[in-house]
Structure 1
Amino acid sequence: MSPIRRALERKAAGEKFDFAARKALIVAGEAAVEPLGEIEAAEATTTPAAPGVLGAIVRRGSPAMRHVMQKAAANDTGPVDGSADLSPLDQMLLKLHGDKLRLKALQSTESKVALKRELLPEYLPWVEGRRAAAAKANAEGLVYRPGQDDVFVTATVWAIDIGAYPEALEMAAWCRRFEQVLPKQINRDLANFVTEEIAEAVIKAQRAEGGIAAAYPDFNIGAILGDLEELFREDQMFDQVRAKLQKALGLAVLATIPADAPADQTLPAQKVALRFLKRAAELDSASGCVKLIEGIERAIKKSEAPAS
């Protein structure tokens, strides 16, 4: 029987395990001295929100607690929360189990996204520790094989869900490098999932009030899409998914054109966008690009027509 299974069975047998209280303790940096059994509630302390892409995704909890988690993730040894009979990964999986139960209790997608935004900072030190271990091994010419890490994978999925795409891509690159497998309920491999989720979000943003520019004020979404294309360029992917990425790239280019720009100054961007959209239509005739292509071609023809 695995250590994590034993811990869950102890809980089922009546030993109280308050996931919400444990979460608060971890955030507050106090759980390292608590046993696995009954945990008393504690007030959570946080640092002020840091500026940047993530907004609410900030490094919370005491520096000492973050250091402990990063070290445990890097070495896969030592306590994360004082549970001596669980490995660091199993301790994090136990915490993840509790947080997933909280998410499962919610029916609203909007509420789930809000909770993921709140929870994700608690997993970032683990993510940073794993990435640091890989970087250190690479620098020393050593082979690093972390094995399947469902904590890291789930953090990657949550980062995508909340729209933290710069961080999500860095995490996805780690997952790809170390052949991580997504949860069964996603029913897609890494390349198809990451590409489709981000591309669909950009396409949806284009139809919303304010468009793509308003949806992504904190980073260059066109650059993110370009990095996404490069990351999975050699991977097998459904044509329909790759078509969505090409469409999103085209829409992102069009979004850079100022509304009051003279027609002759819009030509370069229009031609680049047209290339992406035509490729999307080639990959998937049902991608919804035909009218966009026709409209851009008319605009280009009008701009290039000789003055009468």
Structure 2
Amino acid sequence: MTTPARNHFLRVSAALAAADEDARPLSHANGYELILAQLADHRRQLKLVQSVVRKAEVKRRMLPEYAAWVEGVLAADAGLQDEVLMTVMVWRIDVGDFAGALPLAAYAIRHKLAMPDQYQRTTACLIAEEVANYAIGQATAGGPVDVESVEQVLRLVEQEDMPDEVRAKLHKALAYGLLAQLDKGFKGDAQAQRQQALTHLRRALELHEKCGVKKDIERIEREIKNAAPPGAPPSAPPGNGKS
């Protein structure tokens, strides 16, 4: 149960545990034992749920119970390994809360924190792939895409090592998000938006030939050409995208 007193206890416990190198493993801290036991119980509950959509709904209800702990860890900024923080980061991505996940992702990458064993990927790779998967799924289903957060993730993992296929998926996700905005009453420069999306689609194809964007590129190139005023130069050729 989330109460002001419990939240205060968790914030203080998280900050103290994160700041104390000699307290490792964190299970020696009473606050960490409490929050880790809660996480284990929540994981057991989630295993009983088969529907992916339903799992996301359950996680969304559970996440507020970890807010105080995460706040304490981020405030201490000690950079010690924390399974609760890393799991909460993943859950926030799972429910589409990119804005909530980004501070945790930035903290994790800056301090080179590892993912818990069950995730079997590097931290940067997981962040990039899970954000991309969610954004592509939303765009394909006609839902909203947090384009600004996807752009931030792309910058966040720019110097991180990961398979080219994963980085390609992130560029594809950003392109799909930009294009989705055009379908929802976009009030900016539509031609510039298409060009930006095309740049990311081309970069995705450059990174991974089988990422499934060839037809998208052809379609956007046609749209740009058809919308261009007479005498306008053609769109830039492939290979001009950034990492």
- TM tier relative to shorter chain: 0.7 to 0.9
Give TM-score, length-normalised by structure 2: 0.84
Moved over 4 A (4+): 258-262
**Which of structures 1 and 2 has the larger relative contact order (alpha carbons within 8 angstroms, sep 6+)?**
2
1:250, CA displacement in angstroms? Answer: 1.2
Equivalent pairs counted in the alignment come to 222
Residue 273 of structure 1 corresponds to: 197
Unaligned runs of 5+ in 1: 1-26, 28-60, 78-84, 135-143
Aligned mate of 2:101, from 162, 165, 168: 168
Residue 236 of structure 2 corresponds to: none
Residue 215 of structure 1 corresponds to: 144
What does 1:48-127 correspond to in 2, within 5 Å? 61-76=2-17, 87-127=30-70
- Are the aligned partners of 2:14 and 2:69 in contact in 1 as well (CA < 8 Å)? yes
1:158, CA displacement in angstroms? Answer: 1.0
* Residues in 2 aligned to 1:98 and 1:116: alpha-carbon distance in whole angstroms: 12
The 3-state SS of whatever aligns with 2:124 is helix
Relative distance call for 1:240 and 1:145 in structure 2 (3 A) is: closer
* Residues in 1 aligned to 2:12 and 2:197: alpha-carbon distance in whole angstroms: 46
Unaligned runs of 5+ in 2: 19-27, 232-243
1:286, CA displacement in angstroms? Answer: 0.7
> For each residue in 1:13-46, what CA deviation from the matched residue of structure 2 results, as whole angstroms up to 9, or x when unmatched?
xxxxxxxxxxxxxx1xxxxxxxxxxxxxxxxxxx
* Residues in 2 aligned to 1:128 and 1:179: alpha-carbon distance in whole angstroms: 19
1:89, CA displacement in angstroms? Answer: 1.7
> For each residue in 1:125-153, what CA deviation from the matched residue of structure 2 results, as whole angstroms up to 9, or x when unmatched?
0000011111xxxxxxxxx342x211111
1:196 and 2:129 aligned = yes
Relative distance call for 1:171 and 1:269 in structure 2 (3 A) is: same
Deviates more, 1:148-157 or 1:249-258: 249-258
- Judging by fraction of residues, say which structure has more helix: 2
> For each residue in 1:150-176, what CA deviation from the matched residue of structure 2 results, as whole angstroms up to 9, or x when unmatched?
111111111111111101111111112
- Are the aligned partners of 1:70 and 1:128 in contact in 2 as well (CA < 8 Å)? yes
Give TM-score, length-normalised by structure 1: 0.67
Residue 286 of structure 1 corresponds to: 210
1:277, CA displacement in angstroms? Answer: 0.6
* Residues in 2 aligned to 1:296 and 1:91: alpha-carbon distance in whole angstroms: 52
1:259, CA displacement in angstroms? Answer: 6.6
